[in-house]
Amino acid sequence: MKNNEHYDASDIQVLEGLEAVRKRPGMYIGTTDVKGLHHLVWEIVDNSIDEALAGYCENIEIIINKDNSITVKDDGRGIPVDIHPKTKKSTVETVYTVLHAGGKFGGGGYKVSGGLHGVGASVVNALSKWVEVKVYKNEKIYYIRFENGGHTVESLKEIGTCEKNRTGTHVTFKPDPDIFDTEIYDYNTLLTRVRELAFLNKGLRLTLRDDRDEKDTTGDTFIYEGGISEYVKFINQGKTPIHEDIIHLEGEDDGVMFEVAMQYNTGYNENIYSFVNNINTHDGGTHEEGVKRALTRVINNYARKNNILKEKDESLTGEDVKEGLTMIISCKHPNPQFEGQTKGRLGNSEVRKLADNVFSKGFEKFLLENPDEAKLIVEKSMLACRARNAAKKAREISRKGDLTITNFYGKLSDCKSKDPKVSEIFIVEGDSAGGSAKEGRDSMTQAILPLRGKILNVEKNRLDRALNNEEIRTIITAFGTGIGDEFDLDKLRYDKIIIMTDADVDGAHIRVLLLTLFYRFFRPIVEKGHVYAAQPPLFRISHGKVRKYVLTDEEKEQYLVSLPENIRQRAEIARMKGLGEMDPDELNETTMDIESRTLRQITVDDCVKADAVFSKLMGDDVEPRRKFIEEQAGYVENLDI
Ligand code: 1YM
């Protein structure tokens, strides 16, 4: 972009009136909900960002005012104030009242920011109750005001003077409540995007402040000299990187700027985000394709050349090389073509080559200059490759249903009925409770699967590891549904899957582990209501030959109150410590018998809560996890399962 090109007001062409915008706001800003409301902010901020990209603006401030109006301030050149030859009005007024009156349409230097390419000011004006613009330029302060959808009520005038070098644009607008469903901005949504814009435009200082909040006096300020490298660092917070330095590569061709930053971590997820002109390209496109193609090729070439990948080894796939990769791709393009239903994919074919070139040259160089890191990256991809093959094999085995058959039948005490509609399976904590359950059950319809110890934490392990875990394999085989791509709910062998664990911390832990397993790998069985929790009693109240079991303290009190005084005084109350304490008949009567038991159906919501507990426990250290579970035992109990 040329920094010294003088802006000529005649560049602006008059295209359309503002009434059209008010009639069909959706056409211009998508929606009129809170998203549309936020959109207005970005349209104005985009003009400041354009000014920053042109090299004239360093600071942008966004303020949510008490009356739900928004102020955006920048220290750019200030919107031109001279008279526009076509409209015979000031250029500021033209920019704010004539649709499509942005620099781009006049051919005066391109805009690379997103949104409506810097033409959004008039759209914002059309959809506002009022707008005020102040321009600092030529040692003067200019002012103009619009009302009710862009009608000029005070044309541009000087309202004062300012210091010699002070320039900039201040805009305040109040969205029209007749147009929008809401006028309440969400600070955190705005903050996330402001932070993202700071990452994507290195060195630009962005501040967001909430004047609706008396306590917020300073707001939040972001400035990242490292740009998208710092974005990668931000995303990798709390993860363990496998190489210290973030790889940052950039290049330019024919006015198209391309930039990528990346770092591998020890996890298994890929976090790749791409942007074109600061807009997230959710569906990728040529910039992403170029990088991904080059990434796979360069890693394979390097691994072969250095004999890390042997001749007999299969080549690494795109999936393998993306495992544990955090990557930000940013492209700034003067004429981007967005494709797809949501316009979330970049279509410009020349970018594929630019991305491939810039990335492959830079990444190759990095690998050559950092052999230790290179080795770690290649080995990480090779592990992913092995895991992928192992998972495939395991899936095939689970499909055939012959997982460690001998061991399997040693564990599962299946029911006699082969009719899933009447069959149920109890997953029981511990061998001893498993023994009682086996004796006390109705063997026609009830199967018992005792779990030894705890099952593997699936949150922290890949599918292939999970499939190597004995307890999990047994569960999969017992269910009969297969797993992953192979999952088939119609093959489920039991109508009810009943988790039966003690009402203590360990029991809670096992329940959470099982729910996470079901949620991750067998979600439809939860969604279709096949999963239940048994409700073993908490108290046994005995008097004479009568034995009464109750589930809660309240039930206990209620029952005691209902007894005649003399019996109540002699009643024995025992707190049931665990399933193992009950004899088979007792267990059957209280917890398993279809006639007398209480079951609680597990919902997806229970699993989401269990999952949230897990996400808090993501770390590799056992100690915080133990501590959390002890502390949160109450919470886990509150899952009431
Ligand atoms: C708070 C909103 O709009 N800043 C802003 C806008 C412009 C300029 C500078 C600017 C651009 C150019 C030359 C140019 C705009 N100017 C126009 C138009 N902040 C905000 N800051 N001089 C100043 O593009 O050549 C549209 S936006 F069309 F008048 F040039």
Give me the half-sphere count of Cα atoms (radius 13 Å) on the Cβ side of residue 592: 30
3-state secondary structure 607-637: HHHHHHHHHHCCCCCHHHHHHHHHHCHHHHH
166 or 538: which leads in pLDDT? 166
| Residue 110 pLDDT | 42
Distance of alpha carbon 390 from alpha carbon 419, whole angstroms: 33
Using the predicted structure, report yes or no on whether residue 407 has a pLDDT greater than 80.
no
Q: Of the segments 38-47, 390-399, 428-437, 573-582, which one has the largest average pLDDT value?
A: 38-47
| Residue 476 pLDDT | 84
Round the average pLDDT of the chain to a whole number and report it: 85
- CA 506, chain centre distance (Å): 30
Nearest to 637 by CA among 473, 512, 543: 512
7 pocket-lining for ligand 1 (C-beta < 6 Å)? yes
Using the predicted structure, report yes or no on whether residue 311 has a pLDDT greater than 60.
yes
| Residue 99 pLDDT | 82
Give catalytic status of residue 595 as yes or no: no
Please tell me the pTM assigned to this model: 0.67
pLDDT band for 202, please (50, 70, 90 cuts). very high
CA of residue 19 to ligand 1 center, whole Å: 23
| Residue of 15, 44, 51 to mutate, ligand 1, most atoms within 8 A of C-beta | 51
Domains of the chain: 19-222 (3.30.565.10), 228-392 (3.30.230.10), 399-536+601-635 (3.40.50.670)
Burial (0-12, 13-18, 19+ Cβ within 10 Å), 244: exposed
- Over residues 74-85, the pLDDT tens digits come to 999 999 999 998
Using the predicted structure, report yes or no on whether residue 628 has a pLDDT greater than 70.
no
Using the predicted structure, report yes or no on whether residue 12 has a pLDDT greater than 60.
no
- Where would I find the H helices in 247-314? 286-305
pLDDT, average across residues 483-512: 84
48 pocket-lining for ligand 1 (C-beta < 6 Å)? yes
264 or 585: which leads in pLDDT? 264
How many percent of the chain have pLDDT more than 90? 60
Using the predicted structure, report yes or no on whether residue 219 has a pLDDT greater than 50.
yes
- Over residues 254-291, the pLDDT tens digits come to 999 999 999 999 888 888 999 999 999 999 999 999 99
| Residue 105 pLDDT | 37
47 pocket-lining for ligand 1 (C-beta < 6 Å)? yes
| Residue 606 pLDDT | 76
Residues contacting 6, CB < 8 A, separation 6+: none
CA of residue 233 to ligand 1 center, whole Å: 33
122 pocket-lining for ligand 1 (C-beta < 6 Å)? no
| Residue of 10, 81, 169, 194 to mutate, ligand 1, most atoms within 8 A of C-beta | 169
pLDDT band for 472, please (50, 70, 90 cuts). confident
Q: Quick one: tokens of 269?
A: 């997820």
109 pocket-lining for ligand 1 (C-beta < 6 Å)? yes
Asked if residues 463 and 388 have their Cβ atoms less than 8 Å apart, the reply is no
Burial (0-12, 13-18, 19+ Cβ within 10 Å), 86: middle
| Residue 15 pLDDT | 36
| Residue 91 β-bridge partners | none
CA of residue 535 to ligand 1 center, whole Å: 68
pLDDT band for 3, please (50, 70, 90 cuts). very low
| Residue 58 pLDDT | 97
| Residue 269 pLDDT | 80
| Residue 619 pLDDT | 46
Give catalytic status of residue 82 as yes or no: no
Q: Quick one: tokens of 344?
A: 């979330």
Burial (0-12, 13-18, 19+ Cβ within 10 Å), 405: exposed
| Residue 430 pLDDT | 80
Asked if residues 492 and 477 have their Cβ atoms less than 8 Å apart, the reply is no
pLDDT, average across residues 66-91: 95
| Residue 39 pLDDT | 95
| Residue 397 pLDDT | 61
Annotated active-site residue in 504, 553, 583, 630: 504
pLDDT band for 164, please (50, 70, 90 cuts). very high
Name which residue sits closest to atom 26 of ligand 1, judged by CA.
Answer: 102
Cα–Cα–Cα angle for 280, 281, 282, rounded to 5 degrees: 95
17 pocket-lining for ligand 1 (C-beta < 6 Å)? no
Using the predicted structure, report yes or no on whether residue 479 has a pLDDT greater than 80.
yes
| Residue 618 pLDDT | 46
Give catalytic status of residue 429 as yes or no: yes
Annotated active-site residue in 216, 506, 593, 637: 506
125 pocket-lining for ligand 1 (C-beta < 6 Å)? no
How many percent of the chain have pLDDT more than 70? 84
434 pocket-lining for ligand 1 (C-beta < 6 Å)? no
| Residue of 6, 7, 86, 91 to mutate, ligand 1, most atoms within 8 A of C-beta | 7
Q: Of the segments 427-436, 443-452, 481-490, which one has the largest average pLDDT value?
A: 443-452
Candidate from 4-13, 128-137, 255-264 with smallest mean pLDDT: 4-13
pLDDT band for 156, please (50, 70, 90 cuts). very high
| Residue 195 pLDDT | 96
95 pocket-lining for ligand 1 (C-beta < 6 Å)? yes
Give catalytic status of residue 225 as yes or no: no
Backbone angles phi, psi at 35, to 5 degrees: -65, -45
Using the predicted structure, report yes or no on whether residue 615 has a pLDDT greater than 80.
no
pLDDT, average across residues 589-615: 80
Distance of alpha carbon 290 from alpha carbon 280, whole angstroms: 17
